[in-house]
Amino acid sequence: MKKTKLSLVALSFKNLQAKPVRTACLVVVAAILSLTIFGGSILILNLRQGLNVMTQRFGANLMVVPRGSGQRAETLLLRGGASNFYFDTSVVDRINQTNGVERSSPQFFLASLSEECCDAPVQLIAYDPATDFVVQPWVSERLSGQVSDGEIVIGNHIIQRDNGTVQLFGHEYPVAARLSRSASGFDTSIFMTMNTMRHLISRGHAEGYSFPADSYEGQVISAVLVQTDREINHYLIARRIQTENSDVQVLVSNTIFSSITAALSGLQRYIQIFSAALWALAVIVLSAVFSGIIHERKKEFALLRILGATKKHLAGIVLSESFVAALIGGVVGIFLASLTVFPFSANISDRLQLPYLNAPLIQIIALALGSLLLSSIVGPLASLYSAIRISKAETYFTMREGE
């Protein structure tokens, strides 16, 4: 009969298989810990990824809008929705004359409030190709050339027709490109040049539609995006613009995103504290569990000593079993967290009302390995005292216990 030498890990697997209930308890504790650490960490990572991308996509230091429209502009930027607000185009020249302003570009907002006119209610945003520094760099990721007049660029969540068009106010407009996700209100917006917007409004008038901008005399815009001199404080320039133009309200990009940053920081602290407390609790619970297990297996270990196992070998068995059980639990926890977080990312974003975007795969893998490490070392750490105790036990007295 061929003899097979069992390794420490193989022996640990067999011992764990021999006691399925006991093993299940160890695995469940490790799985809960792993699920919490990885789930919470990946949530924060994806939220920060969403915030970073949103900040990059905004691309401006300041956003100038009509006085009283600041809250609606923030809502449009962060969560999307339908907004119409206007002021005269002369504001652009006034802003450009402000000390500290390097360049500016106007935008025009038009909201389709019903599905009667369009394929879906969306926010339409027109930009000036001659001065734009926000939309076109983003479009260039998906389109090699320029967006022509008569074409549109759709946000990531907009659905186009099978023929590659979107209907707006009774006419179909060809889609030049679909933008990558930005985790902002831009994902539910449609972009076009100012000329395309003028043609759209003219066609809409011919079809019997009216627009909020019709009540204004002359040419109007909705917002002016501003890049400022890096050597001058953004808030100082914002104050200058608002002081020199009583009809405007200036939003500073740092302020727009500060509420999100604060919310993320608070959520991150909560998750870190909860994870640390759960980690400590897992060590305590598993320590108590292993203490009871070792007490039950005293004679088993004494018999192994009689058969030639060293004290170091006995300690290795205990530590190996705890590590294997914690490792299995860690893998299970990460798997369950992945099933919860990744398929429901859109729902999570809607629930939290925060920008949410899946982080790069390499970061997710690194986070998974880190979470697995933290959950795996709980087992050996919790069983360390029991391993030392069993290695110091005297075989003779252990075998005589209970007689």
pLDDT confidence of residue 301:
59
Q: Give the phi and the psi of residue 363 in degrees, each rounded to 5.
A: -70, -40
pTM for this prediction: 0.71
Structural tokens at position 400: 């005589």
- The share of the chain scoring above pLDDT 70, in percent, equals 81
Q: What is the mean pLDDT of residues 16-24?
A: 74
- Going from N- to C-terminal start, the domains of the chain cover 8-54+260-400, 68-246
Instruction: Give the residue among 271, 342, 255, 324 at the shortest CA–CA distance from 17.
Output: 324
Give me the percent of the chain exceeding a pLDDT of 90.
23
Q: Supply 271's token pair.
A: 């998750």
pLDDT digits (tens, 9 = 90+) for 75-126: 777 777 677 889 999 999 999 999 999 999 999 998 876 655 666 778 899 9
pLDDT of residue 288: 73
pLDDT of 398 reads 42
- Report residue 294's pLDDT band, with 50, 70 and 90 as the boundaries: low
Highest mean pLDDT among 45-49, 57-61, 214-218, 239-243: 239-243
Give pLDDT, residue 83: 79
CA distance 383 to 167: 66
- Higher-pLDDT residue of 365, 389: 365
pLDDT value, residue 402: 42
pLDDT value, residue 190:
92
pLDDT at 332: 92
Q: What angle do CA 105, 130, 206 make, to 5 degrees?
A: 90
Identify which has the larger pLDDT, 334 or 385.
334
At residue 4, does pLDDT exceed 70?
Answer: no
Mean pLDDT of the region 233-243: 90
What confidence tens digit (pLDDT) does each residue in 349-375 have? 767 767 777 888 899 999 899 888 888
Amino acid of residue 221: I
- Report the sign of the C-alpha dihedral through residues 118, 87, 51, 193, in that order: positive
- The pLDDT assigned to 403 comes to 43
> Which residue has 């006119």 as its token pair?
117
Report for 66-70, 114-118, 352-356, 396-400: range of highest mean pLDDT: 66-70
Q: Where are the alpha helices (DSSP H) in 342-393?
A: 345-352, 361-376, 378-392
Confidence of residue 195 (pLDDT cuts 50, 70, 90): very high
Per-residue pLDDT of 242-277, as tens digits, reads 999 888 999 998 787 777 777 778 878 888 888 888
Q: Is the pLDDT of residue 299 over 80?
A: no
Q: How is residue 232 written in tokens?
A: 């001058």
Residues 6 or more apart in contact with residue 314 via CB below 8 angstroms:
301, 304, 305, 387, 390, 391
Residue 221 has pLDDT above 90, yes or no: yes
CB 147 within 8 A of CB 177: yes
Average pLDDT taken over every residue of the chain: 81
